[in-house]
Amino acid sequence: MGAGQGEPVLPRHRGPLSGALIGCLAEQRPLPDPAAAQKADPYGDDLQLALYVSYELHYRGFAGVGPAWEWDPSLLAVRAALEDRFLTALRRDASARLSVDDALARLLVEPGNDRGVPDFLRKHGTLRHLREYAIQRSLYHLKEADPHAWVLPRLSGRAKAGMAAVEYDEFGGGRADRVHARLFANLMADLGLEPDYGHYLDDGCAEMLALVNGMSLFGLHRRLRGALVGHFAAVEITSSPASRRLALAMQRTGAGPAAEFFYTEHVEADAVHEQVVRREVIRGLLDEEPELEKDIVFGITATSHLEDRLADRLLASWGA
């Protein structure tokens, strides 16, 4: 079936918040008390899974869950409490007093001592490591560019035109077989993995859930449009060099032509996207709304913070 069809099944719960929320969607049990979110670990499995499930109602939904739940007021109240807990932690841990130019420059600094996941996979990765990495990243790549599409109605002028141009490429430039989510599904098939959308949700670690939730959080709220643009800039600027390493890892391990192609495609495409995002999206937005500079920086630094947490989790696991 692959990335283009179907609704995923509800995942297994990971604690009281996610258990109550999933139980409500599956069996009409009571929703969790929104106040309970303030006692949960903002980066933990329970809160992040509950938040992911609530956001997924805006994407493909879940098999057997009615579409009316997407805008159910009581569920949205729970989601707002989860978002507040998560966003407060991000602002505490990832805010920085930087200019946009300085924040962007930091993205170009490579991790020292071969600490990055792409470097590890290029030099030491086995097919097992590549499969584990693909399983985690599938939570995003099978919906690649979808969270960013929400910002388009909230932009105008150069920023809107530049963002739409990049999104058009992400969605295949009018060709269904070149949609980046489809290309990642092909990569998964090459690695012997199940390419269906949402298939590996139960395998997604809290750090990966948080990274995808950050995209959804920024994308769904107009007030966070600057943070979404900052997040998008961080993704596009860091993608090309990382993709070059990952393409070499796929080639070295014999992962398959589709697995290698997914990353070689991103090497070229995202190098172009970086310039469009810098010159048109960010500069265009700041020309119209200079007060959003702080939010753009926050989007950049929050994304780096969440990516670093995921990298630390994966490298610690592989090095154990």
Domain membership flag for residue 275: yes
Q: Which of 42, 62, 92 is at the close of a domain?
A: 92
Residues 77 and 120 in one domain: no
Q: Among the three residues 92, 114, 144, which one is the final residue of a domain in this structure?
A: 92
Query: Are 177 and 87 contained in the same domain?
Result: no
Angle, CA of 296, 298 and 304, to the nearest 5°: 110
Output 126-131 pairs: Cβ under 8 A, ≥24 positions apart: 126/253, 127/191, 127/253, 127/254, 127/255, 129/318, 130/191, 130/249, 130/250, 130/253, 130/255, 130/259, 131/191, 131/192, 131/193
The 10 Å Cβ neighbour count of residue 151 is 26
236 shares its domain with 119: yes
Rounded CA separation 110/74 (Å): 44
Tokens coding 280: 């048109």
Q: Residues 239-262: pLDDT tens digits?
A: 989 999 999 999 999 999 999 999
pLDDT for 54 equals 98
**Same domain? 228 vs 258:** yes
Query: Cβ–Cβ contacts within 10 Å for residue 94, how many?
Result: 19
Say if 2 falls within a structural domain.
no
Dmax (CA) of the chain? 51
Statement to judge: residues 84 and 155 lie in one domain? no
Structure tokens at 284: 């265009």
- Whether residue 3 is contained in a domain is answered as no
Q: Which domain holds residue 104?
A: 98-319
Give every residue of the chain whose pLDDT is below 70, as ranges: 1-5, 110-115
| In a domain? residue 8 | no
Q: Is residue 4 part of a domain?
A: no
Rg of the chain taking only CA atoms, in angstroms? 19
Residue 9 forms part of a structural domain: no
Say whether both 165 and 281 belong to one domain: yes
Could you count the other beta carbons within 10 Å of the beta carbon of residue 136?
22
In a domain, 54, yes or no: yes
Domain count along the chain: 2
pTM exceeding 0.85: yes
pLDDT at 298: 98
313 located within any domain: yes
Which residues are CB-contacts of 105 (< 8 A; sequence separation ≥ 6)?
none
Answer yes or no: do 81 and 115 share one domain. no
Q: What 3-state DSSP class applies to 313?
A: helix
For residues 185 and 61, membership in a common domain is answered with no
- Which alpha helices (H) appear in the chain, and where do they start and end? 16-27, 45-56, 73-94, 100-107, 117-124, 127-141, 146-149, 157-170, 180-190, 206-220, 225-253, 257-276, 283-288, 293-319
- pLDDT score of 271: 80
Does residue 132 share a domain with residue 26?
no
Which of 35, 65, 92 terminates a domain? The answer is 92
Residues 132, 247, single domain; the answer is yes
CATH number, position 264: 1.20.910.10
- Do 182 and 312 have their domain in common? yes
